[in-house]
Structure 1
């Protein structure tokens, strides 16, 4: 079948070392991994996952790439099966029923109460949409919700309203997408988070079964159902493979780039994320072959526990290697869902932080000749390093053009190039990927990583980041009005902007040594990423729910809606949050070695 549009627009604009990488990236090694993984249902904690890790080890050894396999104990929740049947006014079973990770286990028989779900038209809305209040009595009932995403906050709202179970209707005709219900990033809750774990059974059905349920729910006689969710929560040792390639051009420089992606999957998970695993293996191969040209090191990691542990593998790594990441990691590059068939564009699934925009945009243009757009990384994927303050490049990759998706009737999803007939489904099979698209996407990642590994001064532009922060805080300050004064933050950002401008001017005219410039850029990342993406501490993890820009300060936007004690309580907490933000910004300012 002909592709939707061309994969490249003209000749690649790369030369020298980058052209060598471009030419060396082949179809053979990565596609062999895709074919091997097509036979493995890599659910974490299973033998198939271990076979996949063994394959990675075998190929790394074949290419003489140094690696270590760790065995972290991860807390996982595996959905096994679900059953659903109507018991009144008719008796009827629904075969598409599935449960989700971290749902409550058990059987419920109760009357159904239908609620309107949030409107979802984009991937961003899918990740953030939720029901915040319920205006009717659902105590002891099964809440029926029509939505493509049972958001974590929706689950919590339904549970707190006293519902006995939650029944979701997904838009896919034949089967619902697999999913996860916990808000705890990394799976393992602390004492304050345990009460947020779902206790009620959660079952999803397909669009076809959902339409029948809606028909029954609209009848005069109440609809009653019996549903069962068989789901477990347990510890499992899971292989985590880490390849480490030492740059030989500057042996004294032990800074590194972390390239990573998850190798566990739902079913065989070809586009989510066997193709990403293949790209990582190919990147490890070509950079190892050219290690004598690398100024910095490259770490390549394959995570377990992404799907049934809420990014448990990368979270364990963030904990275990916190100091090395904090001191030496110049950026993290998440590789998820490259190489999807017909993914001709880089439009609405490319995500990175503001300082990385020129780097990512140039890599896409230089390799593929394609325009792109900058999208804010959501609190999702394996971005387990925001609290540490690591600049993040990519999250997803190329996408099927929007008009093609619309023509095919796809609905928004969080991966697989936008193919909703693949993402988190048993149908994410090898026909959903394209080896030539995978080669192109791997080349894009290779060029971006090469610039991080070889440029004398790191190609991260924090002038863009500070400007973005100024816009965010100015908007919050305007919304808060007389209710709260954010001028201390705005003053710090203005002072920081002057210092950052002076830093990059010194870089451009060569009046600052590259080593000092790079230390300043890393320090800026540590502070600016943290305040823009996290509200918890440096060595904590924010919850796996939508995080607005400057999440510690965002509650100021609703301050005017409060009164009495609630109003004054929030003012106090905002004052503390602002103090923490100002301290982060001053630390960033103090790290800039150039006075404006």
Structure 2
């Protein structure tokens, strides 16, 4: 076994459940809403554990914009139904309107709680209270709001109601987006009550009265920041992070993640002599009621340092949940596919599969262009979820207690948590100790060329991406040649070797440019809204061109948009070709 492999093995063996169990025991007594006393107590407790473990840390106190739901109800014909209101809905002492049922856009009888389409093309729901299935996602709330709906009621699939957030603003607002905060009133109900409301809505002239109460404003919240300095290139670092705040007790989302992060920080700090680059461990506030406000503040406040020095961001959310034994529903950017699959195989002897990260989690760093992996970790296999009659959710290892008051200690499986910690820790260790960063950007460009072909097909005969395609194909060839030159450097043990430094700088530059054009419309240091971002978003309107009447204003506007988008993508490809060709 070589030296690095021995280090990896030793560090993984040092992981244990002592600190995680203390975190889980404490957190099942705390409702960790951001801006609350319990949140402050939770951060203080984590700090005390780090103090006992001898791990230096900093508590920062950013001021972030939050909306905290307090209560909600809906009343129809004298009957009051239990309800929740999402963060960034509006408060009302009583709002009344006629019910109307608008089915969600699903192609099967099984409810998709993340569906954003609706099976209705009406131009207006003026003055109506809309009833529909799913979650109060920003796109759906806005759809009804834009068509004049007085309010919207969303029917969740189970007996519980899932907490959520309906603003499209990612993090605290700025002048570019503060006016997009929802003006709508919105609530959610469970499945049984929802079916009653559907029937009532189908009767003529049935009215509903909604009441909602939320606390909204700018709040100072703690943020835990741990810097573990490496030895050879300490300015470069991997950011390992997750959120502390929760909906009610939130044991699976994300007490398990917090427990894992503190334990990994302990092991990394006490083995820092074995780390070539640094690791920065952060635990955020404002994830749930601020749309990732904590991580967004960090991305803003440390933006220049992140751009220059962060080699990867690793999100730790909902590890260690019961029945979560599959690693085939992972998230990572394309260039780290080989790194992540190898880590999971070596740490857990498990197959894995990664998909394009959705616009979710604490992925607040796409605009900087940082290579990213993991969002959620282990998940229950599809067949297990089917046996239990579970519908897909966004955390807790696939357990449907996600974002509900039933996310309690029984959702935790500490054996799985220990395995997940090994996966995370090995991924970080290999990233910080790799002589040449473990990224293969041929996969990024190949993925973009595939998408480009789909867009080309969509606009065939009207517009062409041929020039963009040629630039992309040339870049792919240049990256392949670049990768061949990296092979002998991987055996060089020093990160201070000038050729190694140059190679790694180019790998970071590839990420900065290719990730930005593939995951962000807004550009560097600006945050895209919490809406779906398709691949190569500047070119994605190609799929909608023929939805518009040929020669119409919107048709010509779309063509103009595609031309500008083509310039952006081609310019990026050409810049990278030039930079790599000089290596």
TM-score (norm 2): 0.94
d(CA) in 2 for partners of 1:180 and 1:16?
A: 45
Identify the residue that residue 372 of structure 2 maps to in structure 1.
392
Q: Deviations over 1:525-553 (max 9, x none)?
A: 00111011011120101110011111111
Q: 1:197 aligns with which of 181, 197, 202?
A: 181
8 A contact 1:132–1:157 mirrored in 2: no
Alignment pair present for 1:520 and 2:510: no
d(CA) in 2 for partners of 1:141 and 1:415?
A: 33
Q: Secondary structure at the match of 1:61?
A: helix
8 A contact 2:103–2:120 mirrored in 1: no
Q: 1:364 aligns with which of 336, 344, 349?
A: 344
Identify the residue that residue 419 of structure 1 maps to in structure 2.
399
Identify the residue that residue 178 of structure 1 maps to in structure 2.
163
Alignment pair present for 1:28 and 2:9: no
Q: 2:471 aligns with which of 471, 492, 498?
A: 492
Q: Deviations over 1:405-445 (max 9, x none)?
A: 1111211101110101x200000011100111100000001
Q: Deviations over 1:246-265 (max 9, x none)?
A: 012x1x44110000111111
d(CA) in 1 for partners of 2:65 and 2:38?
A: 18
8 A contact 2:136–2:165 mirrored in 1: no
Per-residue deviation, 1:579: 1.6
Gapped runs of 5+ residues in structure 2? 491-497
d(CA) in 1 for partners of 2:379 and 2:343?
A: 16
Alignment of 1:260-275 (within 5 A): 260-275=241-256
Identify the residue that residue 378 of structure 1 maps to in structure 2.
358
- What's the C-alpha RMSD, in Å, of the aligned pairs? 2.0
8 A contact 2:113–2:156 mirrored in 1: no
8 A contact 2:486–2:503 mirrored in 1: yes
Q: 1:313 aligns with which of 294, 297, 317?
A: 294
8 A contact 1:503–1:594 mirrored in 2: no
Identify the residue that residue 258 of structure 1 maps to in structure 2.
239
Alignment of 1:439-588 (within 5 A): 439-510=418-489, 513-562=499-548, 563=550, 564-588=552-576
8 A contact 2:103–2:119 mirrored in 1: no
Alignment of 1:79-228 (within 5 A): 79-87=69-77, 91-94=78-81, 96-106=82-92, 107-119=94-106, 126-127=113-114, 129-131=116-118, 134-135=121-122, 137-147=124-134, 149-173=135-159, 175-191=160-176, 193-219=177-203, 221-228=204-211
Per-residue deviation, 1:114: 0.5
8 A contact 1:130–1:151 mirrored in 2: no
Alpha-carbon spacing, 1:223–1:346, altered in 2? closer, same or farther (3 Å): same
d(CA) in 2 for partners of 1:586 and 1:121?
A: 45
Per-residue deviation, 1:233: 1.9
Alignment of 1:2-13 (within 5 A): none
Alpha-carbon spacing, 1:294–1:407, altered in 2? closer, same or farther (3 Å): same
Identify the residue that residue 51 of structure 1 maps to in structure 2.
41
Per-residue deviation, 1:129: 2.6
Alignment pair present for 1:404 and 2:388: no
Per-residue deviation, 1:590: 3.0
Q: Secondary structure at the match of 1:592?
A: helix
Alignment pair present for 1:336 and 2:317: yes
Per-residue deviation, 1:369: 1.1
d(CA) in 1 for partners of 2:125 and 2:219?
A: 36
d(CA) in 1 for partners of 2:38 and 2:370?
A: 32
8 A contact 1:524–1:591 mirrored in 2: no
Q: Deviations over 1:338-360 (max 9, x none)?
A: 00011111122x11111111111
Alpha-carbon spacing, 1:325–1:39, altered in 2? closer, same or farther (3 Å): same
Please identify, of 123-132 and 66-75, the stretch whose mean Cα deviation from structure 2 is larger.
Answer: 123-132
Alignment pair present for 1:351 and 2:331: yes
Alignment pair present for 1:243 and 2:229: no
Alpha-carbon spacing, 1:108–1:314, altered in 2? closer, same or farther (3 Å): same
Per-residue deviation, 1:127: 4.5
Identify the residue that residue 407 of structure 2 maps to in structure 1.
428
Per-residue deviation, 1:316: 0.6
Per-residue deviation, 1:291: 0.6
8 A contact 1:122–1:412 mirrored in 2: no
Per-residue deviation, 1:222: 3.2
Q: Deviations over 1:124-151 (max 9, x none)?
A: 965463339642652111001122x222
Alpha-carbon spacing, 1:269–1:501, altered in 2? closer, same or farther (3 Å): same
d(CA) in 1 for partners of 2:488 and 2:324?
A: 41
Per-residue deviation, 1:561: 2.4
Per-residue deviation, 1:189: 4.4
d(CA) in 2 for partners of 1:372 and 1:462?
A: 19
Runs of 4 or more above 4 Å deviation: 120-128
Per-residue deviation, 1:573: 2.1
Identify the residue that residue 265 of structure 2 maps to in structure 1.
284
Per-residue deviation, 1:586: 2.5
d(CA) in 2 for partners of 1:566 and 1:440?
A: 52
8 A contact 1:523–1:591 mirrored in 2: no
Alpha-carbon spacing, 1:530–1:127, altered in 2? closer, same or farther (3 Å): farther
